[in-house]
């Protein structure tokens, strides 16, 4: 099956700093989503981005499908950005809902 690798595994920032999270995947994908898991476990949809670039406030994401990677940018980080960020993909040719998750990036933002 498809492999999804996220880096870095851990990231510690001071409030106001910018960061880039990376997601590499081993095969073609039909779907790629970025999620933020808050301290209570809720997965919050950040981006549905199988290709191209999207922006939402301080967050933006870029997926280069031909090179099999995606990047999540967080600008002017805030303490509320802390949590785990997951990249998840649906492998090409498989059922649309069967997401394979990366191991996540644990982000800690200090005031």
Partner 1 sequence: GAVVSQHPSRVICKSGTSVKIECRSLDFQATTMFWYRQFPKQSLMLMATSNEGSKATYEQGVEKDKFLINHASLTLSTLTVTSAHPEDSSFYICSAPGRGVWEQYFGPGTRLTVT
| CA–CA dist 30, 80 (Å, integer) | 31
Residue 80 backbone phi and psi in degrees, to 5: -70, -10
Residue 97 or residue 111: which is nearer to partner 1 going by CB? 97
Which x/- pattern, by CB under 8 A, does the window 29-48 give for partner 1?
Answer: -xx-x-x----xxxx-x--x
What's the min distance (Å) between Cβ of 13 and partner 1? Answer: 20
Q: Does residue 96 interact with partner 1 by CB under 8 A?
A: yes
Residue with tokens 């933002």: 109
Query: Could you tell me which residues come within 8 angstroms of residue 107 by beta carbon, excluding any fewer than 6 positions away?
Result: 11, 12, 13, 19, 21, 74, 77, 81, 82, 83, 84, 85
Q: Which of 53, 55, 76, 103 binds partner 1 (CB under 8 A)?
A: 103
Listed ranges 18-26, 57-65, 66-74, 92-100: which one lies at the site for partner 1 (CB under 8 A): 92-100
What's the min distance (Å) between Cβ of 18 and partner 1? Answer: 25
């Amino acid at each position: 099956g498809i492999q999804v690798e996220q880096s870095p595994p851990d990231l510690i920032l001071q409030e106001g700093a910018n960061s880039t999270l990376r997601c590499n995947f081993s095969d073609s994908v039909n779907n790629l989503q970025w999620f933020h898991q808050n301290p209570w476990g809720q997965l919050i949809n950040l981006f549905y981005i199988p290709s191209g670039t999207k922006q939402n406030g301080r967050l933006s994401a870029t997926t280069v499908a031909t090179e099999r990677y995606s990047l999540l940018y967080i600008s002017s980080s805030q303490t509320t950005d802390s949590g785990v960020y997951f990249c998840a993909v649906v492998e090409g040719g498989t059922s649309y809902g069967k997401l394979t998750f990366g191991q996540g990036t644990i982000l800690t933002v200090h005031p």
